[in-house]
């Protein structure tokens, strides 16, 4: 079976972005490799997207997985002061917002975070394809 060409960034978006406006979320067209957002605003979706096995639902990762990625990043930070600040930021309410705010005080770490997070998300996309039985070629 040939590899399915999938846009990695689009799949990562489907795995990491939650929209309150959608009831049915994201799907992968297993024939074309297109990532589709099923929403009321989408006019060009197939009518049978929810029933046709050609369209594989993509469940976004849970927030605890995103939280774990932040924890894993903090464990790599060598500057003890920065690591402690980031660790405190993810405790309590609104950890994602507070983490991003804390990174503003550490511009080099902020760039490192984006690279770390991107690599973690790429691994999640690979794992999702593998678990879904998809032999992927990223485009």
Alpha helices in 1-106 (DSSP H): 8-16, 63-76, 80-89, 95-103
Instruction: Read off the tokens for 56.
Output: 């594989």
Cβ neighbours of residue 121 closer than 8 Å, sequence gap 6 or more: 12, 15, 16
User: pLDDT-based confidence at 2, cuts 50/70/90?
Assistant: confident
Number of domains in the chain: 2
One domain, residues 10 and 45? yes
Residue with tokens 């972005």: 17
Distance CA 27, CA 117 (A): 23
Tens-place pLDDT, residues 36-90: 988 755 667 888 988 999 999 999 999 999 999 999 999 999 999 999 999 999 9
Global pTM?
A: 0.89
* Structural domain that includes position 11: 4-60+131-138
């Amino acid at each position: 079976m040939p590899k399915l060409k999938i846009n990695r960034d689009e799949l990562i978006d489907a795995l990491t972005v939650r929209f309150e406006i959608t009831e049915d979320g994201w799907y992968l067209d297993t024939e074309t490799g297109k990532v589709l957002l099923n929403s009321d605003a989408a006019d060009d979706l197939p009518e049978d997207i929810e029933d046709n096995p050609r369209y594989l639902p993509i469940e976004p990762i849970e927030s605890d997985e995103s939280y774990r990625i932040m924890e894993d990043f903090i464990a790599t930070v060598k500057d003890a002061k920065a690591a402690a600040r980031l660790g405190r930021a993810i405790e309590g309410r609104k950890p994602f917002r507070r983490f991003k705010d804390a990174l503003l005080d550490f511009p080099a770490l902020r760039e490192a975070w984006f690279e770390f997070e991107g690599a973690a998300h790429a691994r999640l996309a690979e794992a999702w394809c593998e678990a879904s039985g998809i032999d992927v070629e990223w485009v």
